[in-house]
Amino acid sequence: MQAACEAALPADIAVMTAAVADWRIANSANEKIKKQNGQLPVLSLIENPDILAGLSQHVSKRPRLVVGFAAETEKVLEHARAKLAKKGCDWIVANDVSPETGVMGGDYNTVHVVSSAGVETWPKLPKREVASRLTVLIAAHFGRGGGA
């Protein structure tokens, strides 16, 4: 996925919605891992490339606007602000995905758009409306339409 994102550059906007796994197996097995008398296999993990940070910090082809997402289960705004700073993107769209919110698999979401200018919290909305509002916000950022 990292190679595909970089191959798409240059771009004006990067909206990084994919939930790429942070970790992967260091050494995959060529054959099925068999049970061994109740012993759990040892799995070594390595970190996947950070695609959002890579695009945000791209030296020659950084998109003019980089939007990342943060699905959190606690301290949503605190973690979103930290992610914004660490990754170097322009906006983080953060939400609480704790089981009690019903966001995962549900039709509604409550998001916070976090930027260096502050936080814009949207009310509980259908997910399609969240997408529409985000599109309007991006257009407004580029001076192409009214919006939040």
Q: Where are the domains of the chain?
A: 2-21+41-141
pLDDT tens across 60-96, in order? 999 999 999 999 999 999 999 999 999 999 999 999 8
Instruction: List the structure tokens of 7.
Output: 């191959």
CATH topology of domain 2-21+41-141: Rossmann fold (3.40.50)
C-beta separation of 78 from 63 below 8 A? no
pLDDT digits (tens, 9 = 90+) for 27-39: 988 999 888 888 9
Retrieve residue 121's tokens.
Answer: 């919290």
Q: What is the pLDDT of residue 145?
A: 59
Per residue in 100-148, pLDDT tens? 888 887 899 999 999 999 999 999 999 999 999 999 999 999 987 554 4
**Stated pTM of the model:** 0.86
Rounded Cα–Cα distance for residues 55 and 65 (Å): 10
